[in-house]
Structure 1
Amino acid sequence: METTSQIEQLWPIAAFFIILVIMLIGMLLLSYVLGPKTKSRAKHTPYESGVISVDDNRTRFTNHFFLYAIFFVIFDLETIFLFAWVIAFDEVGWAGFIEACIFITILLAALVYLWRIGALELKKRHEPSRSRRAS
């Protein structure tokens, strides 16, 4: 009896993964069949973030790109925490409301701190390393 109950509970998950794998294989096959078949020199050139990577290209990126990504992830995760609080609003009551207010206050303090130290300002644009050496 218990084994039948477990199978009944797990079949939707198994069906989901089977359908997922079938869709994945189908999309890969469709892109292979319908995709362009041209061969050119540019097709095999690495291209990432708008920069064509060649031996002569010595563009260096400063860390502000990394900082923007980290700030986004941090504040995005905090939004998820606030969303969970909103869903459980009836259960947490006033104690939960006070905790959420403290949480938002800490977030605002962190944002003001980042703003005051200039971490949100785009100080330098990326430039080729040759022009930095020349200056």
Structure 2
Amino acid sequence: MSGQITLIWPIAAYFLTLIIMLTVMMVLSHVLGTKAKLPAKNIPYESGVISVNDNKTRFTSHFFLYAIFFVIFDLETIFLFAWVIAFKESGWPGFIEASIFIAILLAALIYLFRIGALSLKHRHLPVKSEQSYTTKVVRER
């Protein structure tokens, strides 16, 4: 039993430290944060667009594909970073494996470009009314 505890204590200490840090940050944010009730404080703001009463800008799901592609290719960069750290130890076999990995990534990028996944198909225009939006969606199908 004591052998299992010696294996688990670093993870338990990590989670305990994490919970303490989160609690301290939330309490400090509450104590040190401003308490002013300004009119602009409750206005929705996202991605540089201030939503005013009649501004109903809609973003299609295609817009978020860029973010997904970024995350995927960013993770691939992390794998390559691990290869760079062990470059001397891996030698030529590691170089060949990394080259194959990069070739697969390049093939995926070319495929995404060829199917049009990297081009915006719709402009993000304000929608005039809910009824005109639904008619547009029905016409596109």
- Give the TM-score taking structure 2 as reference length: 0.68
Q: Which has the higher contact order (CA 8 A, sep 6+)?
A: 1
**Are 1:65 and 2:63 counterparts?**
yes
Q: How does 1:1-135 map to 2 (within 5 A)?
A: 2-3=1-2, 5-87=3-85, 89=87, 94-116=92-114, 119-121=117-119, 125-130=123-128
Q: Give the direction of change, closer, same or farther, for the CA distance of 1:86–1:52 in structure 2 (3 Å limit).
A: same
Q: Percent identity?
A: 71
Structure-2 separation of matches of 1:118 and 1:15: 48
Query: Which deviations, in whole Å up to 9, do the C-alpha atoms of 1:2-44 show, x marking residues without a partner?
Result: 51x3333333332222222222111111111111111133322
Which moved further from structure 2: 11-20 or 118-127?
118-127
User: Given the superposition, is the C-alpha separation of residues 19 and 74 from structure 1 closer, same or farther in structure 2, using an over 3 Å criterion?
Assistant: closer
| 1:63 Cα deviation after fit | 4.0
Listed as ranges, the gaps of 5+ residues in structure 2 are: 133-141
Verify the 8 A CA contact 2:63 2:120 in the aligned structure 1: no
- Deviation of 1:79 after TM superposition, in Å, equals 1.6
Q: What amino acid is the match of 1:43?
A: K
TM-score where L is the length of structure 1:
0.70
What whole-Å deviation, never above 9, does each CA across 1:33-63 have from its counterpart, x for those lacking one?
1111111333223222222334412212244
SS in 2 for 1:37: coil
| RMSD across aligned positions (CA) | 3.1
